Amino acid sequence: MTQKKISLHTSFSKRQKQHRTVNRDKGWGKGLTEKAVFTRKMLYPTFWSAWLAVFTLYISVKLIPYPLLMKLGKSLGKIMARVIKGRRYIVDCNLKLAFPQMTDKERAELAEKIFENSGMAVFETGMAWFWSDKKILKYTIIDDEELERARAIAASDARILVLTCHFVTLELMARMYALTIKPGVGVYRPSDHPVWEYAQVKGRLKSNLALVDRADPRTMIRALMKSLPIWYAPDQDYGRKVSIFVPFFAVEKAATVTGVHDLSKIKNTLVQPSWTIRVKDGYRLYVSAPLDNFPTDDEVADTARCNKVIENMIKIAPEQYLWLHRRFKTVPDGEPSRYPEIK
């Protein structure tokens, strides 16, 4: 008997039909997104549930004390682990691929923590979007030496490519960097759902200048040329056309975009690793020194080096990394799927 495969989400055409309108343009050089777009169509009944979700998140992070928010997030994550079976399967596959040295018990315990952190991330996203600057800064922890160095680089008007990755606290990281060092431009994936797109753009521009589509390198280059910091996370699998195969954790051939190597070739561009880890008293914002001798003429070596930098970030708190996406989806020709039960 053939086992039924797991379906993660509906097709784009079906979602487009459901949403009736799509706030998404395609093509290079479409420009920066500098404000959230609202249309009257977004008040149609089909969107009421989305507005209710956004409002509920807003009220929650505004009224519920932070310690209780985190407890609620953990509980939500435990529910997610049991309800979203496709994502649980992906997490299990990712951990087997990335950490083959772990025992099954160790991976199972890590998977539980990953879902707890993913539930907490729901509220942390709301915090990043709706908290005041004062409250964000209250929970921001940064080393004085790192802060002084980062501010000096920002004041020099250097072209800064902020190398980061998809921790569950990524939304907070961008806000904290903007408030403590310098506002900049976030690279993001526009949503085809107009309410979610409005909410994420509105929230992400609370302390930053603009957003740019991840598929629009031309506009990223223009932003860098204006000495605007760019937050760039190259740790997801964007497919064969824009990727090369380099090691990532125990996977020797992980499809990885070459964007950091390509963008850093712009004159006077510095690649500055930065990320945020949730700690006992708040959020530790790390801002490392820019990578030395980067870029080189070897895009493979440079891309592998960036993956190693990201690995070292993740090793600090692997449970806070977003293992729910198919990081190892694209495989070399002739190799079997790494997620065989996914459609």
pLDDT band at 320 (very low <50, low <70, confident <90, very high): very high
Fill in the amino acid letter for 190. Answer: P
**Of the listed ranges 21-30, 97-106, 203-212, the one predicted with least confidence:** 21-30
Dump the DSSP string for 236-285: S---GGGEEEEEETTEEEEEEE-HHHHHTTSTTEEEEEEEEEEETTEEEE
pLDDT at 21 over 50: no
**Of the listed ranges 20-34, 117-131, 282-296, the one predicted with least confidence:** 20-34
Peptide bond into 45 cis (omega under 30): no
Longest Cα–Cα distance in the chain:
65
**In the 8-state DSSP scheme, what is residue 231?**
E
Dump the DSSP string for 215-227: T-HHHHHHHHHTT
Displacement of CA 168 from its chain's centroid (Å): 7
pLDDT digits (tens, 9 = 90+) for 231-255: 999 999 999 999 999 999 999 999 9
pLDDT at 40 over 90: yes
The fraction of the chain above a pLDDT of 90, given in percent, is 89
Q: In terms of residues, how long is the chain?
A: 343
pTM of the model: 0.91
What phi and psi values does residue 252 have, to the nearest 5 degrees?
-70, -25
**In the 8-state DSSP scheme, what is residue 72?**
H
145 vs 15: which has the higher pLDDT: 145
Please give the Cα distance from 274 to 156 (Å, whole number): 18
Q: Which residue has the tokens 């001798």?
A: 293
Sign of CA dihedral 196, 198, 199, 201: positive
pLDDT at 19 over 90: no
Average pLDDT value for residue range 302-324: 98
Q: Which residue has the tokens 């977003």?
A: 322
Cα angle for residues 49, 322, 305 (degrees, 5° grid):
145
pLDDT band at 14 (very low <50, low <70, confident <90, very high): low
pLDDT digits (tens, 9 = 90+) for 88-107: 999 999 999 999 999 999 99
What phi and psi values does residue 318 have, to the nearest 5 degrees?
-60, -25
What phi and psi values does residue 53 have, to the nearest 5 degrees?
-65, -45
In this predicted structure, what is the pLDDT of residue 343? 81
The fraction of the chain above a pLDDT of 70, given in percent, is 92
pLDDT band at 6 (very low <50, low <70, confident <90, very high): confident
In this predicted structure, what is the pLDDT of residue 38? 95
Average pLDDT value for residue range 270-297: 97
Please give the Cα distance from 119 to 113 (Å, whole number): 10
Fill in the amino acid letter for 37. Answer: V
pLDDT band at 26 (very low <50, low <70, confident <90, very high): very low
Please give the Cα distance from 144 to 140 (Å, whole number): 12
Dump the DSSP string for 149-168: HHHHHHHTT-EEEEE---BT
pLDDT band at 3 (very low <50, low <70, confident <90, very high): low
pLDDT digits (tens, 9 = 90+) for 44-60: 999 999 999 999 999 99
